[in-house]
Structure formats: C-alpha cells, structure tokens
Structure 1
Amino acid sequence: MDTSIYALLPEEERKEEKPKRYTSKFRQTAKEEYAGGRGNYRTMGQAKVPVPTTDSYLKKHEKEPVLPRKEEFHYPDEAYNRPPVPGRTNQPLMGLKTNKNFITTNAVENITSVPKKPAKKFVDTKNGDAHNLIPSGLQPVFVHKKNFGEVPVYLNKRNEEVKRAQEEYDAYVSEHFRRGALRSLTNDERQIIIDGLKANWEDVHERYQGISVVTDTTPKKNRKERMEAHMKQLEKDIEMFEKFTTIYIGN
C-alpha cells in the first residue's frame, strides 16, 4: 500500500555530520619553528627596523668588485721559454756519406746466423699420415703429406657427373638430328633473320616518331606503350641472334 500509519508520526530532523577538518602532521613543528625563529627574522622580517642615519647612503663605486692589485707576469721556470732562433751563420751539416757496404754486411749476417731447428714429426691418429711440425706453433706442413697435390675425391666425382650429363645431352641432340626434329641455322639464314628484325624495328621506330609528344588521352598513351614494348622485344631478339652463332630450330 502507498500509505502507512507510521507516516503520521513526526520524524526527527537529521543533521549532516561534516567530516573532521584536516590537520597537518607538521602543524606543531611549524608552530615551534615560528615561535623560536622570531629573533632570526625568518618570516616577517625584523621586529624593529633601525632608523636610517645620514651617513648610510650609497657611495660611488661602492658596489663594484674589488680586483687584486696588478703585478708583472713572470714565467715559473726558464725551461718553459722557447729556444732561441738559430743564427744566420749557423748552418746544419750537409753532404754526409757512409762507406758501409750493405750487400756484404747482409751476406755476412746470413752466413754467420744460427740455423733453425729441424721440424718435428707427428703421426695423425685419424689417417695414419706423418706430418712435419713447425717448432714454434705445432702447425702441420701439408707439403709432406702422401696425397699432397692430388685432386680431391669430391671433385673427381663432380667431374664424372658433369661428363656423364654432357654425354647424355650430346646423345639427345644427335638423336633429334638423326630423326630430323632439329636442324641448325646457317649463317646466311641467321643474317636474313637479323636483317628482317632490324627492318621491323626501323618501321616501328618511324611510326613511333610520328606520334604526338603530348599523350593527353588514353588511346595515345596505350599506343605509345605498345610501340615501346614492341621495339624493346625486337632489340632483345636482335641481340640474341647476334650473340649465338649456332641456333637449332624445328625441322
């Protein structure tokens, strides 16, 4: 129901309780500093300002810094001074020559030098080969190996594979020649084809020179691109026929 008998009773007025006012935790410290610092003029200046006197006015050059007295500069030691300029008659020694024979000296040094120690030998545990070692770094001298200078096994295998592939290709070409499926172009036929391609290129180039310079429409642009592609293809064909002297074609 919307109404109730309890609504007839007078309600007590409720007052909103305001939150407690914020108090800084440094409040007491600030009070003590303020109270104890009045003599040092920390906050509001002096308690009693002294009366200015007639002789406490700003005088001339009073605020300028006081510079030290000028003194003559002296080097701390004579060693820091520059050496004197050489005299006009002081000339260096010139024309000195040596009588030492460098060829004879080098020959004597090589003859009287101590020979190097012979190389040490060691046996390779993997292959069982004996190698000579340089005494300083224990590096093998591969010249003394048994198989030094021989072609490696993998190269021989590779050469055999290439040779077999070449033989198979030659047999394939020979078989097609025998059947008449392929034949080689003669020099005269190749030259006739090259001349024909060059004539076609000249024809297309002449028509290309006659088109408009400004390609403001789509048909003009497409025609120009077709001619350029045609001339480029003719140039590739001419280059190919001039490069390869032997050309096989279907019979």
Structure 2
Amino acid sequence: MYGGRHPIEQPEESIYKLIPHTPPAIYKAPRYKSVHADRVQKQLKTNKMQTKTMGPAKVTQPDTQNYLKKNSIANMKPPRRSSDEFERDTTHKPPVPKHDERPLMGTKTDKNFIKSNAMENINSTAKKSDPKYVDSPSGTSHTLDPSGLVPKYVMKRDYGKVPGYLEKRKDERIQAQESYDHFVIEQQKAGALKQLSDKDRQAVIEGLKKNWEDLYKQYQGLSVVTDTAPKKARKERLEADMKRLEKDIEIMEGHKIIYVSTDDVE
C-alpha cells in the first residue's frame, strides 16, 4: 500500500491474447408462422365490402330521371280535418287557491318521523346472512343448507317416533304401578292397610306446616355469627328438620290417596 491506497493491478500479458478470435455464431430460431394464416387472410378478404351500405345491396337502384320534383308530394299529405271532428276535453281542473285559502295537503300528524326512524333502526336486529361453505382455493362459495354437510334430523328413519328407552321406561312404570296396586289390594284384604280420609290427610298437612313454622321462627332467632360449635350444630339440626318437613309436606300434597299401616294407627 502506498499513501493509504491500493496499488493498480495490471493484467497478466499472454501471447495467446494476440491471436484473433472468431465470435461465436448466434443461432436464431425460425419465426413462428401459424398454419391457419392463409385461411384467415382469405376469410378476411371475402365479403369484406358486402356490408358497407348497411347490408347487401339486393334492392334495385332508383332511376336517375325519377327524382323529387316541385309539388310532387302535395297529393301525399293527409286531408285536413275540420274542427268538428276533434273530440275536445270539456273537463276543467280545479281553480288555483286564493292567497287567503290554505289547501288541504293531507292528514296532519304530530309524529316525529326522524326520531321514529332512528329508534326503529336502533332497536332492529342485524340481518343474518345465509351460512355458506367454500370448496375451492379461489373462494367459490355455495349455500350450506342443500349441500348435505349439515345433518337434517327430519330425514332420519326414526324421526318423529318415540325412542325405545322411553317405551321401555313406560312399560316398567306401568308394571310397577300394577304390582303396587296388587300389593295394596292384598294388604287391604288382609287388613294390614287403611286408606287415609281426606279430612285426616288435610289435618296431617296442616300439622306439618305448623311444625315447619315453629322451626322457622327458631331458625330466625339464631345468632348471625355461628362462632361456636353448639351454635353451628343447632343451626344444622334446624335446617335438617325443616328440609325433612318440606319433603313430607310435598309427599302429602302430591298424593291424594294415602295408605297407612294398621299397626301405626293402633
């Protein structure tokens, strides 16, 4: 390096560089020519001037001596009709209202159309578009409903029919009821069961409700803070007794016919 610059690199000299070289030949492909070029040119020249005058000239040319002359169309005009032949409209339009008159322009209303239209648009729901599916990379979409991709349960063979497990459950319930009725009849014949009258049933329901009200008053009188074990135990005992009474009341009110054992009555 001299003066902080790179030295100039000189190419190596060779005797082979003095021999003239022939440039390589450039190969050029033949120009493409369609095999239909002659036929297309022939078709373009055929009948090219035929439609120059708005279609083929199939009509005879007019005679040069038979040109338009003066007063030659006077007899071609239609005859002039008299005023009696015209049908005139004798109806008259209503007169223009005077300056002190106010014409009736329609029914007057106090409705605020701007506000009503705004509220209608605010409360309206957006229209849902039909579900579609895309089946091509370019984004071609089709309606999803008739495609068969969505299951339609109305087309199933067992659509509208009661499922088998419901029929089985119904039969089991009927059999259980029949067996229970048979058991009750047998017990009544043996004198082990007695049907509770409506009056006694209502008295039992009222007694259960009175007991529940007494427990509820006690529950309302409990301390808000259950910081000791006895308070917590009493609260839990009252809640359990109230739930048991609620279940008994529900059973008594849900069944109109109730059987009791004669041993319990005695």
Q: Is the shorter-chain TM-score for this pair beyond 0.5, marking a shared fold?
A: no
Shorter-chain TM range is: 0.3 to 0.5
Q: TM-score, normalised by structure 1?
A: 0.35
Q: TM-score, normalised by structure 2?
A: 0.33
Name which structure has the greater RCO, CA cutoff 8 Å, separation 6+. 2
